[in-house]
Structure 1
């Protein structure tokens, strides 16, 4: 806790809580939550800078670090927050109290402890007790249990921002990350060739901090040049864990069994969940290969360029495209993963891809319902997908 101590305010009166919440929810109390730690921290910092009284200087805010070692420590942190809220700045005027990076509000051992639960409830009691309007509070946390009564109380009195990482196991997750990457690129005056930004998103995955670092690295590399191509992305961007998951899909598309097995070994060694790998990397790739194989065999589609492919899909009748994956907002097709699969699909027959999708379903059932070694299940799946049919016979 900070060292700026002033005259203590009188203890809170809980009877006034009901009338205080509605008038303070938009401009006095703020909560920034979500699994994307980098964006949560940055958003909270912007709020603190914006609401800190300009004339207060260093005495205008008090930061309470929220990283608790255990439940007892969490209780002490909550006590420090309450003391900061009830202590006026030494020179008078307003102040901002920031509970920064609290790690004791989630569904974990420390978060479930009575000291943590009651400690945060006590903070909420103070916030609901008609604090002077120039005393402001900011909470930032990457883990908060939304099922608790305390979260509902917080939601009623605080202006809340949520910054969650996208779920890479669901189709269309790239869109949210791409929007963030595009905004960062525009800030630096960068543009991307067709497909280059999509490739960067796939390689960096859902880690927005790494995403920003990679774009800044590209910015320095390009110098006066302001347009980034595919080769630059491939040569400059480091692959995240999500990127490794995506690379398994590339290995499947290339029908490179050895590479796929190597990447699987890396992820399993890192402790990645086998079902997550199956649903995030293997199933989407096999499904896209099958969609493209059937699409190009039954319809006339321009596969020579990304733009041509995209235009061809839009020109097809709805009966031929109703099953294609779409963007979250429903404005168009999720074209990039399909276009990437065009050349790859030529390495497989339709029968192989139909069998492959069925094999994925069978592997998922084994992972969920049996005690078989998960790595063995996944390795057998990859061998069945990628080994030549003559070799399997």
Structure 2
């Protein structure tokens, strides 16, 4: 009877996947460094660039990986093969090609047949088609880590980004005054690389000072695409129609999805304005500072706060967007904000069910929201 086939150990195969390119690259690099033995020279690791230009190139990359896995290092010892930044594993034209599909299957065949005891394989990729059998096979062979960008069109996306920003700040010994870190996350958005760069910029600017305020964030941090989306919300709060239309044009020119703009920028700000307008009408809330505002929210009866947005971990209210809208709500009447929310719903239906031009739909919405009502 032939000996049973010995597959590679999960400790030998590592897959780091996700749409957050910066974190995927960072974690893949850390994985390679952790697996590398102390004092290992440059010949111990073999990096195969996975950025394929076409189907034929993807097939060649896979062949190079197989050759690397089956070739022992020149001077013995441990060896790490890193397929870096593979772009042919997802649901795209190159990824659907026979050369790419079969090529990756061949890599898995080699791994399943058993790697050398001192050989490790690391895969980093921005996307992978989870419907294919290759993904299921990979899951049985590797420890998979996923780092996806948060969906900024959904409430609570700030939670994961906030945690990452807090960790980076702690590493640099930085602290933020109340509301400053929230503002930084809103301006930098879901771009992890820009977020880290902005925190480093703040660190250099502060020098020996270790506490960052809101004005410092506003003065130093550059707006990402998500930040521009957030800035549209500011223009709505300021009832600045011209600014809102300019930002809308920028986002649509950049290829931003119209539904994403509506659900990620316009609806959240209208909802926040409506919530704080109703709260300020019915209850006494502290408008002087962020800490006082959050304290006044905590003091309200549960019947008044059950519908307020909460942080992803459930630890409290997601109060900063509401605080930003607090003074802005004075520019609108309660009736205007109720009508604005209905208009957002109507715009959503038009974007989904009609052939109307997306730009026209959103421009009409903004004009209706921000043009002052004429008193009869």
Length-normalised TM-score, structure 1? 0.93
Counterpart position of 2:195:
211
> What secondary structure is seen at the aligned counterpart in 2 of 1:381?
helix
Distance in 2 (alpha carbons) for counterparts of 1:216 and 1:136: 34
User: Within 1, Cα distance between the matches of 2:337 and 2:153?
Assistant: 20
C-alpha contact (below 8 Å) 1:253/1:341 kept by paired residues? yes
Supply the distance in 2 between the matched residues of 1:162 and 1:382 (Cα, whole angstroms).
Answer: 37
In structure 2, how many angstroms separate the alpha carbons of the residues matched to 1:166 and 1:325? Answer: 17
1:376 aligns with 2:360: yes
Task: Show structure 1 runs of 5+ residues with no match.
Answer: 1-12
Name the structure 2 match of 1:83.
67
1:20 pairs with 2:7: yes
TM superposition shift of 1:56: 3.4
Stretch moving more, 38-47 or 300-309? 300-309
Q: 1:1-393, aligned counterparts within 5 Å?
A: 16=5, 20=7, 24-25=9-10, 27-390=11-374
1:196-216 CA-to-partner distances (Å, cap 9, x unmatched) read 111111111100100111111
SS at match of 1:239: coil
Contact 1:65 1:99 in 2 (8 A): yes
Offset, 1:141: 0.6
CA distance in 1, matches of 2:330, 2:150: 31
TM-superposed CA distance for 1:15, in Å, is: 6.6
Distance 2:215 2:316 in 1: 27
Deviation track 1:182-231 (CA, whole Å, cap 9, x = no partner) reads 11111111111111111111111100100111111111111121111111
8 Å CA contact 1:56–1:95 kept in 2: the answer is no
Task: Indicate the larger mover: 214-223 or 29-38.
Answer: 214-223
Structure 1, 124-133 or 95-104: larger mean CA deviation: 124-133
Secondary structure of the 2:46 match is: strand
Shift of 1:342: 0.6
User: For the residues of structure 2 that align with 1:14 and 1:79, how far apart are their CA atoms?
Assistant: 27
How many residues matched?
375
- Where 1:111 maps in the other structure, the secondary structure is coil
Deviation at 1:133, TM superposition (A): 2.4
SS at match of 1:105: coil
Aligned-residue RMSD, C-alpha: 1.5
Q: Which stretch shifts more, 179-188 or 41-50?
A: 179-188
Kept after mapping to 2: 8 A contact 1:14/1:125: no
SS of residue matched to 2:82? strand
1:247-280 Cα shifts (integer Å, max 9, x gaps): 0000001111111011111111112111110010
Report deviation, 1:301: 2.0
SS of residue in 1 equivalent to 2:121: strand
Offset, 1:304: 1.9
Q: Secondary structure at the match of 1:160?
A: strand
Q: Distance in 2 between matches of 1:128 and 1:94?
A: 19
